[in-house]
Chain A
């Protein structure tokens, strides 16, 4: 047990910085009183962007595999990478939200979002059951509120309630799993739990406890069969919040899941691998098949994000340092791609007045640039080069093949054929169909920020699709450190 010294404070400086930002935002809301403008949202976006860069540049030098703060946290490269990704995702979300007056004009919105980001960042660094649980609740509660933020919109409040109920339920189950883990290992700390089970004597018990814990993680990443909340919540919640849930929240869930597999895989071996593979196959298949039948763009993206959780689980099942790096890479590209996809849907819905994909018909003639960005985002989701989705998918599948999970790779590639169908369907509507004549085109105001955010996302999608370096080397370090 270490006391509080300057080094352990510096190591958690990204988390402290996010906390500080929350206080600044609170003070800004109380004293500066710029209500009715998006000033607080922009302030939060700027702060999160600075934290993202700062974490990557400075905190990465202090990264080490030693647990800190009495074993509650571990600020290794995985934590650094994820805190940086989470902050980036939060910043981009805030930028997109700046154009939505129903969100950005309320001082509570940036405060809640940054609080959620703090919880998610803490999840990525948690190295103990207690800190993990606190982190997940810290992330969850603001997200429930955010999903139901549009209090005058019935679907949004419904989404908030639904998200909360599912969250509470899965949290309870997970907590029961945690209690079993604690009861039989005598410790809350991950390494102690790992060594308690390493003998292989209590395999069945570990199986049960892990399964219960995975309910909580599966809820966060929206993997089948813990996905039921996702389509309704994504559809009802404000698009920007849905994008945040589908990317940033999911990424943090994967960080936790990867840390957890490091604990349980050595003890459970093939059993755990098969279990995760089954989740992967179910998520891919069900996500893709149900996505084909969707008429609402946000529901389509919800099912697609379930399928993406499946592809990512292929990498988790492989259970190697290389596959962890591949999952990180996939998540990086996916973060920018899906944030852009939700923002584009929001933008198109503002133009056409509807979130139905049919209403996007003929968008390419009215707004070629928007259509082109749709094309890029959806092709990246489908895993087509030269976009990030292709690179990530290939790395994940390759790492699975390296781990001998060839059958899972075959299932994965077949699923990406199914997925291409519904992504192309949307692209077809945008490019090949004429626009409905009755539709009134409404002019867009205040979308400068959204444009900027989209350009950033497009650049990132292309960059991570074509250039692996230097990002992959950082991720490779993170993957190695995770398994040490």
Chain B
């Protein structure tokens, strides 16, 4: 399908939803339905093109594909340059999936729908833009665009008790992370001395080892803050709980991936020597993420906080995979980014569905939901099994390689991390039992209705992706291997 390769498909994928976002903002103030349908069209378009990108991606050809470039500021070597490799192609696809799901489950937003559906498209474009950026400047440009939609969506439509606190905390933490990374990357680009922000050209420069050791933590840890790295994970649960459902899905599903993705692309790839030097520290922090995050999830009483902390725990696996710096670990991390993105989107979608109907997230008060919304219960169980790393589901095929990789790099960390899996099983089973089975006050249960068909489509769709990936990992693993192979080459034949 060479004609697709000739189209500037990534540019179209970013530009069209952006135009939709602007168009929605220009609608008259009172409009209710037009914003929804326009957002669905824009999000659907992004989803469609991201699907094409993922499936047309040629895993046998190394390097970046669908590259499209345009001189932005030649005097300083800044260009607009998009393209995907095996690591970013699944991430672009994931963005399409989560964005479309988020739009559909938010269908019934009644307060200022014009702003809501416009901002959600801005957020989606921002994330997709980061995943397809091949220029450092452009990457930050897309990354920071997300500041206003994520903040405004939390404070405008979030959970009233926590929205202002959670929104500010999340936005400032993420901004802090990206700003530290910016300082690091500007230093790296300057030291490279080729007057170019082009990532592919920067990869060709062999940076001084001292420079790498000094600036790697800025870039990697800065970006990893976006991924919820210990001890900077605190924004994630508060922010996710404060956010409205769709925003939690997008934040935990893709925005956290943006952080770790950029940590890999600009941290490990540009500074492989720095990565080797700092890997032990990251392994320790990531292991704490896994175990401590899972433990915090175990002691929560709030349904949404459990999922919030579980994200912190699961993102630890991604970072652990990166820090192992070997083929298995990187492959598993790539798989985990995709798997966790879909899984956590499904989790948060169902949390939202339950909360909308029961108006409580307290585990003690919830119960018996499987009778009223059987499909949601089933979807939650599927996501739960993924979360526990059960064979046959995507979590297993992702976490298994991470454990293999970690075992080669740091056996102790692998052993400790397994404790996280055990705790995960405990909190997931406890949550499923408390929310979907057991008793719910009968007089209130009557008010609880089943989820509408729109939501059912999303639950089924996301569940199918998780199961398909678990049964046929070959759908995605070779694509990711195309991407990790170049990282391994940079790390020097490990």
Spell out A's residues near B (CB within 8 Å). Answer: 322, 364, 368, 372, 375, 379, 382-386, 390, 394-395, 397-398, 401-402, 404, 406, 409-410, 412-414, 416-417, 420-421, 424-425, 427-428, 431-432, 468-469, 472-473, 476
Q: A409-B183, A424-B151 are in contact. List 4 more A-B contacts (CB 8 A).
A: A402-B190, A413-B179, A414-B180, A417-B172
Complex CA gap A89/B287 in Å reads 55
- Report yes or no: A384 in contact with B148, Cβ–Cβ below 8 A: yes
Chain B stretch 131-164: residues in CB contact (< 8 A) with chain A: 137, 140-142, 144-145, 147-148, 151-152, 155-156, 163-164
Which of B141, B167, B189, B218 sits near A390, CB closer than 8 Å? B141
Closest to A413 in B: B179
Complex CA gap A406/B148 in Å reads 28
Which of A364, A384, A404, A473 sits near B145, CB closer than 8 Å? A384
Q: Does B72 contact A (CB under 8 A)?
A: yes
Closest to A420 in B: B175
Chain B stretch 75-102: residues in CB contact (< 8 A) with chain A: 75-76, 78
Check A397/B186 contact, CB under 8 A, given A417-B179, A420-B172, A421-B172: yes
Spell out B's residues near A (CB within 8 Å). Answer: 25, 29, 72-73, 75-76, 78, 112, 115, 137, 140-142, 144-145, 147-148, 151-152, 155-156, 163-164, 167-168, 171-172, 175-176, 179-180, 182-183, 186-187, 189-190, 218
CB distance from B88 to the nearest CB of A (A): 20
Check A431/B179 contact, CB under 8 A, given A384-B144, A386-B141, A406-B187: no
B25, B115, B164, B175 — most chain A CB neighbours (10 Å): B175
Which of B76, B140, B147, B167 sits near A379, CB closer than 8 Å? B147
Enumerate chain B residues within 8 angstroms of A420, measured Cβ to Cβ: 147, 171-172, 175
- In order of increasing CB-CB distance, the 10 nearest A-B pairs are A413-B179, A432-B155, A401-B186, A468-B73, A401-B190, A413-B183, A410-B183, A385-B141, A406-B187, A417-B176
Which of A364, A395, A409, A425 sits near B76, CB closer than 8 Å? A395
- Report yes or no: B75 in contact with A386, Cβ–Cβ below 8 A: no
Check A432/B141 contact, CB under 8 A, given A409-B183, A420-B147: no
Enumerate chain B residues within 8 angstroms of A404, measured Cβ to Cβ: 190
* 23 residue pairs from A and B, CB less than 8 Å apart: A322-B76, A364-B112, A372-B25, A385-B142, A394-B137, A394-B182, A397-B186, A398-B76, A406-B187, A406-B190, A409-B183, A410-B180, A410-B183, A413-B183, A424-B168, A427-B152, A428-B151, A428-B167, A431-B156, A432-B155, A432-B156, A468-B72, A476-B75
Closest to A428 in B: B155
CB distance from A302 to the nearest CB of B (A): 23
Complex CA gap A221/B457 in Å reads 59
B25, B144, B168 — most chain A CB neighbours (10 Å): B144
Which of A364, A416, A427, A432 sits near B179, CB closer than 8 Å? A416
Complex CA gap A368/B172 in Å reads 25
The tally of CB-CB contacts under 8 A between chains A and B is: 100
Enumerate chain B residues within 8 angstroms of A476, measured Cβ to Cβ: 75
Complex CA gap A406/B75 in Å reads 21
Enumerate chain A residues within 8 angstroms of B152, measured Cβ to Cβ: 375, 427, 431-432
Enumerate chain A residues within 8 angstroms of B155, measured Cβ to Cβ: 428, 431-432
Closest to B176 in A: A417
Complex CA gap A379/B175 in Å reads 13
Check A375/B148 contact, CB under 8 A, given A394-B140, A398-B189, A406-B183: yes
Complex CA gap A401/B197 in Å reads 13
Enumerate chain A residues within 8 angstroms of B72, measured Cβ to Cβ: 468
Which of A322, A368, A394, A417 sits near B175, CB closer than 8 Å? A417
Complex CA gap A165/B144 in Å reads 42
- Report yes or no: A384 in contact with B147, Cβ–Cβ below 8 A: yes
Enumerate chain B residues within 8 angstroms of A386, measured Cβ to Cβ: 141, 145
Enumerate chain A residues within 8 angstroms of B112, measured Cβ to Cβ: 364
Complex CA gap A51/B55 in Å reads 57
Enumerate chain B residues within 8 angstroms of A379, measured Cβ to Cβ: 147-148
Closest to B182 in A: A413
Enumerate chain B residues within 8 angstroms of A427, measured Cβ to Cβ: 148, 151-152
Complex CA gap A473/B74 in Å reads 9
CB distance from B69 to the nearest CB of A (A): 15
Which of A383, A385, A421 sits near B168, CB closer than 8 Å? A421
Complex CA gap A473/B179 in Å reads 27
Complex CA gap A473/B180 in Å reads 29
- Report yes or no: A469 in contact with B73, Cβ–Cβ below 8 A: yes
Closest to A419 in B: B175
- Report yes or no: A390 in contact with B144, Cβ–Cβ below 8 A: yes
Complex CA gap A401/B25 in Å reads 38
CB distance from A307 to the nearest CB of B (A): 15
- Report yes or no: A432 in contact with B164, Cβ–Cβ below 8 A: yes
Complex CA gap A375/B155 in Å reads 14
Complex CA gap A417/B168 in Å reads 11
Closest to A367 in B: B29
Enumerate chain B residues within 8 angstroms of A421, measured Cβ to Cβ: 168, 172
Check A385/B144 contact, CB under 8 A, given A417-B179, A432-B163, A473-B75: yes
Complex CA gap A130/B455 in Å reads 75
- Report yes or no: B73 in contact with A424, Cβ–Cβ below 8 A: no
Complex CA gap A458/B227 in Å reads 34
Enumerate chain B residues within 8 angstroms of A375, measured Cβ to Cβ: 148, 152
- Report yes or no: B180 in contact with A413, Cβ–Cβ below 8 A: yes
Check A409/B73 contact, CB under 8 A, given A384-B147, A386-B141, A414-B179: no
Closest to A409 in B: B183
CB distance from B136 to the nearest CB of A (A): 10
Enumerate chain B residues within 8 angstroms of A431, measured Cβ to Cβ: 152, 155-156
Complex CA gap A401/B192 in Å reads 11
Enumerate chain B residues within 8 angstroms of A322, measured Cβ to Cβ: 76
- Report yes or no: A398 in contact with B156, Cβ–Cβ below 8 A: no
CB distance from B335 to the nearest CB of A (A): 31
Enumerate chain B residues within 8 angstroms of A382, measured Cβ to Cβ: 147
Complex CA gap A225/B172 in Å reads 28
CB distance from B255 to the nearest CB of A (A): 15
Closest to B155 in A: A432
Which of A384, A385, A472 sits near B73, CB closer than 8 Å? A472
Closest to B140 in A: A394
Complex CA gap A394/B168 in Å reads 23
